[in-house]
Amino acid sequence: MRENLKIEHGIYLNLFPVDIPEHPADLMVIERNLYPDLRELRNELKNTIKVYADEDKIYGYGADAIMLKDKGFKKIEISLYEVPRLTGRMILEGFINKVKSDSYEVIEKKGRCKYSIGMILR
């Protein structure tokens, strides 16, 4: 049975196609119950490491994700097709990084992001 979803009013659109690699991705993983509050974990990590909770697991990824071994994470190889919410999060983060690099302001609120139209002219 499909849950009722409430989406805030606004303009939503897909700006680009996303090609998900067929080969497995290297990720770090740990059981969710070991870190009930991700804010504390995120505060301890470098900006090059991201963590995302999905059901009973926390996934770690990014340039320095291997450093999560010190916190009990284990390295896995998994197809991004097997973890669609994580894959969606990674796509969103990539988009956010792109618009930030193009001088847009990103306003994060309740898990959603808004982008100001006032881009710096070059």
pLDDT tens-place string over residues 56-110: 999 999 999 999 999 999 999 999 999 999 998 998 888 888 877 887 776 666 5
Neighbours of 12 (CB within 10 A): 7
Using an 8 Å Cβ cutoff, are 48 and 61 in contact? no
Measured between alpha carbons, how far is residue 73 from residues 23, 42, 65, 105 in Å?
Answer: 22, 14, 9, 33
Candidate from 26-40, 41-55, 71-85, 97-111 with smallest mean pLDDT:
97-111
Using an 8 Å Cβ cutoff, are 49 and 60 in contact? yes
Beta strand spans in the chain (E): 25-31, 50-54, 57-61, 74-78, 106-109, 112-115
